[in-house]
Amino acid sequence: MGADENRGRTRREVLRDGTAVTMALFVAPAASSLGDVAVAVGSEPAFFTEREMHTLRGLVDRFIPGKPEDLDDGAVAAGCAEAIDALLGAFEFDPPRIYAGGPWSKRGGGERNHFKRFVRLDAYEEKAWRLRIEGSRGRKKLEFNGPVTGWQEIYRNGLSVLNGAARNGDFGSLSPLERDLILRTSTNPWVRELIDVAFPHTWQFMYGAPEYGGNRGLIGWRYSRWPGDVHPRGYTREEIEQPGPGGGIGGLLNIVKSILSLDELLALAPYAGGGESAFGLAARSESLRELREEVRPVLRRMREERNGG
Amino acid sequence: MAGDAIVVGSGAAGSVVAWELARNGWSVTVLERGRHMRAGLGQRPSGELGTRYGSDEIKSARHFGMPDPLLEPYTQRTQEEARAGIARSAVGAYGQLGAAVGGTTLHYNAKFPRFWKQDFHTLSLLGPVPGAQVADWPITYDDLEPYYDIVERRVGVQGDRDRMPPRTREQSPRSRQFDMPPNPEPYVGKLLAEGARRAGCTAYPQPAAVNSRPFKGRPACNSCGLCSGFGCPINARGDALVSFLNPAVRTGRVRVIARAFAYRVETRRNGKRAVGVRYVDRNGRRRKLSADIVVLAGSPINTARLLLMSRSSAHPNGLGNRSDQVGRNMMFHNFTQAAAIFTEDIHPERSQSNPHQVDDLVGPFTGLEAKALGVPWIKGGLIQLGGAMPLFTEAGLYAGAVGYGIAHKLLMKAGLLHSQVGGSQLIHEDLPQAHNRVDLDPEITDHHGFPAARITYSPHRHEKAAAILLGVRLELIHALAPGAIGAAIIPYPLINPGVQYTAHLAGTARMGTDPDTTVCDPDGRLHEVENVYIADASTFPTFPGFNPTNTIMANALRVARGIAKGSGARRAAEREATSARELEAAG
């Protein structure tokens, strides 16, 4: 059994080569190297070396890109790399950083942030999470269903292979396009394992409670317009019974259905502004036609590539 | 005469059994493989219990309150794979229910419908279906109705009897109005209910074990929307722990041993009486408990596994398994999911989730439409209208669709699924099949070294036919909702050849009067062992398309009251019924 019981599923999930490669191509002109977008956050790493952290930031940046590819910050600024480090070094903390406490944070009107104090694990949970993170490492008692490769080993080896694949030995310093190409084309099993594990970790920390270390400044919740944890206040009757103020996409879907393909929507994305989605921008824009003209060359390149041209 | 009982499992069934036996003077030990999640259990009133849960999706993704799939995997395969000699095609968390003191009810969706009268007579009313083991229940709705009523009074259920369609009232008659009115109607609920009306269906507030006003010292729900899979941060949900287990422990006659994994029911040499249960404690030590009776309530997969692991010279195929029916007829509720896409922000998460119920697709459908699909009849189930999609589910779906990168991020920024899509699900009746079964995996084990449960499962042709026939109507409801610009369905029975993830499980130890074809008698007692009872959904002969917790609790209460006969239980029931009538008369 592998380190992650979801491994098979996530591998299928993350491998959607065609679309993703074309996306990398059309966003590349607007992007810069990681050096410009990386934000150094957090104190000393709990598990990784500084060099590994640099590589890891280069990785999570490709999973959820930030500025300037998009007008909203991405996984690097949200602290996803530091959150992954904290997870892999969970047992360096007391209590281990596996389960945030309950029942609520202060975001929903509570007087105290209970999420900040992590739950003390019992022996069962510690056994499970040490096995998942550290692996079985040849200990027969833990290999009742075969060896378990821990997340630590998957990350360490995967990041090392990524650096080895970089022309300068430094994956994190490569341009977004170069990093994308390595990730999309590598058949190295450690890289495939790394993507299978690290992408779910990245989006979980991007869109999960910030007490785990990611979603810094509630970046993920803000741009996805997710309310987060709302207890103990919850919602008023009016908030429940009436439509929300969002509706940024309002009416757009009609446009989408009749005018825009998914490809076109995705190609429009870099033009979205101010925390607004491309859908929302287009919905309110008087110049949808102009936008379409702008993305037409990009779309042509995407289609040519997809057709093997 | 009251005695000592061991109850395996502390969820919907086990908590009710512990409560009822304790009320009748029994000393009860509850063995629970999960940990304590509610601070103050047994020391404080239920309204004052703490909780380790929160609206925290990372915690849910990390199996909080669940069995860990690394330490306690199940394995799975389809019937076709089994016929091809494939030992298993997947290892993981298929069909796993909660593992915590209080069981899955700590994070269930708390929908609380009753089964219908017709569900107890499916074979008599509709006849057999080739390839399925359709059966009548050995009890009727009328047998269960008083227990439904008692359970609902204790748990606290919101709903509106007056808005239930006539057929629903006729098929699941209730002696009184619900204890609480429905939560405020969410916007998405209004839209989808109108879609149902336009499609010729009737939507009404779905009964839910959630407080819409303060009830028994616990507060009203604030419509956060994160119910299923999440513990309630404010203690507004009526679960097995607050309603039954905590009051039972507070009698002083019930103790709960957490992190106690029961692995064997011991019997006398002749196999006719159980003498106790062996279990592994939190420190990994193997221990034995003795008692006058043993009640199994660990949910269908675990109960079958425990019976099969308890084989002996007197029970060479597993405890109580002379009929070879233990583990068979494993049933899961398949779902057909539907979604309506809107142009405005309908914020479906601001809701006591799935606010409405529609019963127009319950069936049975016995005309040409069924026969044309190759089955003699079709039974569907209820529709839960108006569910929300948590952010992690949305992120996971997009990951599957577009992988990582800017496309994923843009889809998350659009946030379509959590803000402009109203979802629903049709719960399918799953027919019992002999080849859908739980047995012991020959190789994969848990961390103690005990064989993992292996689930062999494929949906029957009936489930696929139901998805085809009823999926169209389900989609129509969504397409006709005001403001909807599109609708879609995901008919899982058609696209998934194996086990769908669901927390609705039944079968594996069906009850009946014939020891050659059933495992338990109508009182839940093993035919072959006079003091071992099964109180969970394992005993269900069929699995109607309704959320099962209310029926699990009501049936567990019936079983427990049967055990307690002779110890004043009948008198207590009469007292309670009298008291209930007085309460109703008092308004």
Residues of A in contact with B62 (CB under 8 A): 98-99
Residue B369, min C-alpha distance to chain A (Å): 33
Determine the Cα–Cα distance for residues A68 and B406; give it in Å rounded to an integer: 11
Q: Residue B583: its pLDDT value, please?
A: 53
Q: Is the pLDDT of residue A156 over 80?
A: yes
List chain B residues with CB under 8 Å of A228.
Answer: 55
Residue pair B427/B333 in contact (Cβ under 8 Å)? The answer is yes
Pull the structure tokens for residue B14. Answer: 């086990």
> Which pLDDT score, from 0 to 100, does residue A247 have?
57
What pLDDT shows up at residue B580? 59
Contact A239 B350 (CB under 8 A): yes
Q: Are B233 and A104 a contacting pair at CB < 8 A?
A: yes
pLDDT at B502: 86
| Cβ under 8 Å to B: A residues 46-105 | 62-65, 69-70, 72, 74, 98-105
Q: Residue B187 pLDDT > 90, yes or no? A: yes
Q: What percent of chain B has pLDDT over 90?
A: 90
Q: What percent of chain A clears pLDDT 70, i.e. is strictly above it? A: 65
CB A274 within 8 A of CB A71: yes
- Comparing B109 with B388, the larger pLDDT belongs to B109
Neighbouring residues of B417: CB distance < 8 A, sequence distance ≥ 6:
B389, B393, B394, B397
> Is the per-residue pLDDT at A256 higher than 50?
no
Of all residues in chain B, the one with the smallest CA distance to A67 is B406
- Asked if B406 and A209 come within 8 Å (Cβ–Cβ), the reply is no
| Assembly ipTM | 0.93
Residues B383-411, mean pLDDT to the nearest whole number = 93
pLDDT on residue B96 = 83
Residue A286: pLDDT over 70? no
A24-38, B71-85, B459-473: which range is least confident on average? Answer: A24-38
Tens-place pLDDT, residues B89-117: 999 877 789 999 999 999 999 999 999 99
- When pLDDT is cut at 50, 70 and 90, the band that residue A161 belongs to is very high
Average pLDDT of span B62-66: 95
Put simply, whether A257 touches B (Cβ < 8 Å) is: yes
pLDDT digits (tens, 9 = 90+) for B218-267: 999 999 999 988 999 999 999 999 999 999 999 999 999 999 999 999 99
Q: Please list every residue in chain A whose beta carbon sits closer than 8 Å to the beta carbon of residue B349.
A: 227
pLDDT at B176: 94
Note the pLDDT tens digit of each residue in B273-287.
999 999 999 999 999
Residue of A62, A84, A181, A203 to mutate, interface with B, max B Cβ within 10 Å: A203
Task: Please state, in angstroms and rounded to a whole number, the distance separating the CA atoms of residues A223 and B585.
Answer: 54
Residue A20 has pLDDT above 60, yes or no: no
Contact B56 A209 (CB under 8 A): yes
CA distance B22 to chain A (A): 29
Give rounded-to-5 percent helix, strand, coil for chain A: 60, 0, 40
Q: Could you tell me the pTM of the whole model?
A: 0.88
Cβ of B406 within 8 Å of Cβ of A69? The answer is: yes
Q: Per-residue pLDDT tens for A76-93?
A: 999 999 999 999 999 999
Instruction: Name the band, by pLDDT with cuts 50, 70 and 90, for residue A28.
Output: very low
Q: What is the pLDDT of residues B320-378, one digit of tens each?
A: 999 999 999 999 999 999 999 998 899 999 999 889 999 999 999 999 999 999 999 99
Q: How far is A44 from chain B (nearest CA, A)?
A: 23
Query: Cα dist. B525→B439, B512, B565 in Å?
Result: 21, 10, 14
Residue A250 has pLDDT above 50, yes or no: no
Better pLDDT: B35 or A272: B35
Inform me whether the C-beta atom of residue A10 falls under 8 Å from chain B C-beta atoms: yes
Q: Looking at the complex, report in whole angstroms how far the Cα of residue A169 sits from the nearest Cα belonging to chain B.
A: 23
Residue numbers in A near B233 (CB within 8 A): 102-104, 229, 231-232
Tell me which residue in B223, B408, B447 faces A235 most closely, judged by beta carbons. Answer: B223
Q: What is the pLDDT of residue B501?
A: 75
Give the largest CA-CA distance in chain A: 66
Judge whether residue B313 has pLDDT over 50.
yes
Distance between CA atoms of A129 and A91, rounded to whole angstroms? 9
- A284 CB neighbours in chain B (<8 A) are none
Environment class of A153 (CB within 10 Å of its CB; exposed 0-12, middle 13-18, buried 19+): middle
Q: Does A140 touch chain B (CB under 8 A)?
A: no
Using the beta-carbon criterion (under 8 Å), do B222 and A231 form an inter-chain contact?
Answer: yes
| Residue B168 pLDDT exceeds 70 | yes
Best residue in A124, A180, A205 for a mutation probing chain B (most B CBs within 10 Å)? A124
Q: How many CA atoms lie within 13 A of B449 on its CB side?
A: 6
- CA-to-CA dists, residue A3 to A134, A136, A198, B451, angstroms: 9, 9, 12, 20
Average pLDDT over residues B520-542: 97
Contacts with A264 from chain B: Cβ below 8 Å:
none
Cβ contact A208–B392 (<8 Å): yes
Q: Which of A264-268, B22-26, B154-158, B477-481 has the lowest mean pLDDT?
A: A264-268
Cα distance between residue A201 and residue B163, in whole Å: 45
Distances (CA, A) of B279 to B266, B302, B316, B397: 11, 14, 20, 40
Q: Which of A23, A148, A241 sits opposite B405 (nearest CB)?
A: A23
Mean pLDDT over each residue of chain A, to the nearest integer? 77
Number of C-beta neighbours around residue A113 at 10 A: 14
Segment A133-144 mean pLDDT: 97
| Amino acid symbol at B512 | G
Which chain B residues touch A280 with a CB distance below 8 Å?
414
Q: What is the pLDDT of residue A245?
A: 74
Its sign, for the CA torsion A160, A165, A171, A177, is: negative
Give chain B positions within 8 Å (CB) of A1. Answer: 70, 73, 91
Work out how many CB contacts closer than 8 A connect A with B.
275
- pLDDT score of A297 more than 90: no
Instruction: Inspect the interface and report whether the beta carbons of A5 and B62 lie closer than 8 Å.
Output: no
Give how far A128 is from chain B: nearest CA, Å: 6
Chain A residue at shortest CA distance from B448: A144
